Structure 1
Amino acid sequence: MRLTCVILLCLKFVTGSIWKNGIVHYAINSKDYDTHSQDIIMTTFSQIQNEICIKFFQAQMNLNNSNGDRILYISNPDKWKHCMPIVYDFRKSVIDMPIGYKCLNQKDIARIVVEMLKASINPNGSAINSFDLLKKFEDEDSQSTDTLISTKNRNYINSMYQSECGRIYQPLQIIQRRTIDNYSEYPMINNDNLDYYRDKLWPNGIVVYGIDEDLKKSEDYNTLQDAMTAIARFSCVSFQETIDNDEFTEKNYIWFDKDGDDMPLFGYGGGKQEIKLSSFLRGAPGHTGHVVNNLLRILGVHMMSNRYDRDNYVIINWKNVEKGKEHFLEKAPEAAWISAIPYDFSSVSHASANYMCGNCDLGQTTVQPMQDRLWHRTLSMGRVNRLSELDILLIDMMYHSQCGERSTKRRSEIKQ
């Protein structure tokens, strides 16, 4: 009887379910673990995700699980000192994963995480508690001192999660350009979007701007014109030049000069905005499409990497962000998120890996893709200077009503 009890204690009966998209959202109970312990856990997760395709994202306990998402909850309510057997029930929205206080080291935490992932893979199996018994089935010579996960476990997890992890790698479906004439075929933005953008969009889809006469003969002026033409050509918005002393000058407009602010305000409004043209064209290091991105900012288009859901796709390394520039990497409000547009690493508005970096000379990053085979996204994002298909669609979705009003006004003037 005693032997039976021991065996039951040493077995973890699991009900498994693959983590969606290979992403584990987790939360740490700050009442059970001090700041140092939390740092060890998070650092370990960061190293683990460099060894396997699974990615770990810290979230709040009030994570919306209406679509079946789950959260890994790390706590120690029973104040365990050692690593005890854990029962993982993946039918629940909250998966408890206690870590004993004497197990707060990278090696033990990695073992616990590996067993949790194995439990998610095998819904009907059981596993021997590797902390109480000898790791009889563990590779004896495949564990490198430089890695936390053995080759055997790494290959097993990656192979079982290949489909889920691979979903993020799949190329986005090419979407044909939407125009005002055929827009009714596609979903509209919701009421929250309309309320958010109501006072941020330029009336009739026309951006009014002016430029200092001395700059009109410069190469910078040609660059600005080319960028404006590129946006106007592939979307319904347009740019209208004016002069500063014109009595008919609009109340709100952009004025490009030799001096002024480096970046414009977001969206419509702000009166006369004096912008330094050279900074407007070449501001953020590494961002090839900086001028186009700034024009999108004027139009009220948030950067792709500032989307409300961006934490599912990229990690922001705040310690590397230049002091005072943090607000350029803050997430946009949820109401600004047009969910019909998929996340687009090829967007001209996506930040580069070293965007707003204080000192990235040694390869540090401010923006890091959560899943990136062979550093493809890290090296390419923020390095394009043209609108993507989804950039064009987003502009037309946002300015559908404004451009429609302009068309109606023109038809009315023609009739008169």
Structure 2
Amino acid sequence: MQAASDVHLLQTGELSDNSDLTSCSYIGKLLVSGPDAAIEVVGNHISQFMFGRPSDNTAFQTVIDNYRDAILSAASKLRLEPSDRVTFTGVWFHVDYDQQPWFEGYVIHVTSSDGIAHARPYDIEIFDHDRSDEGRFRIAEFAATSAGHLVDRLLSAAFGTAGDSSQSTSGLPKLQGVVWYPAADGDKADLPIVVSKLVEITRSDRLPEDVEPLKADLGVAQQEFVDAHAEALASGAASERLRDAFAALYKMSPKMNKWALRQLQFSKFGARDDQIVERQEIDGLIRLSDLANSSQLNGYWFQVRSKDGIIQGSRFKRFDDDARIGLNDYRAVFKRKLDEDQADEDLSCHLASDWHPTRTGALVRFLAKGFEPQLSW
């Protein structure tokens, strides 16, 4: 059972004092990335929550409006008393710019008038995409010595299952962990639903941070860079200490250089020609890696044109490690877009690379400094 104040977030339930952990059996469901979200029904009134707080997100409200009858019908069947509050808790899933957002349910809370919430798996179908068994898998039984041990064991299992999630166009992983449900054929009714999050997502314009148990200790050179960066941000100007710390990581290995560039992705400071610089407006001839590392832009467009000259698709992508280290620099060299080139008029990009042929005969190019789409949260 959970307190009513917890029902708007995906959190691990509490173990009772007499829980038997000698042999636990759980079924996991893959946890998609996004902010914790909840749809709460009191009588015929529906409220939305995001990040555990009341929300007025218009995209979320549109989904609720489109499924209002189904939401109210499901809630009415779940209430034990007319005064019960029903909360569908899950994730607002929108990590790709070119996909429609939706609500993904994981836990149902029914809260009585005394403020106690009873949790159960989200195993109903309200939305068109709901599939009660989709994304579920079972792990073998194991023994745990304490509640903390149980959480650690399931976190480790989640890391092995969802820890290598593919990246979305926004740079967010498509999976952020696993929600674990006690196996239906088990006899331990007091086992809780356990949420194993591998990352902590706070904002759509920030990449998530690893949860504490999975963070690796920083090396001496990395810690010096972190401290020097914080000092420079506080003073408002790049320092010799920051430049030296960056140069030291650059000389160590490509892996350390990639790590340093990633730390700078949301900073007022960036890097160009292996030197720390202050980010600024960019125009004219520039490579993709320099655009990623030293401009104030967030990403770029990738455009495909068929052999008959028709633009087949344009996809926006946030700068990632590949862009920062120059993996596509051999063909992604931006220059000022020619006035007569109107193929990207809907995107209004001021910078474009040349068209480059592919093995299929199609042409590709990169565009930047124009319209940038946003996620719905």
TM-score normalised to structure 1 length:
0.21
Higher helix share: 1
Higher strand share: 2
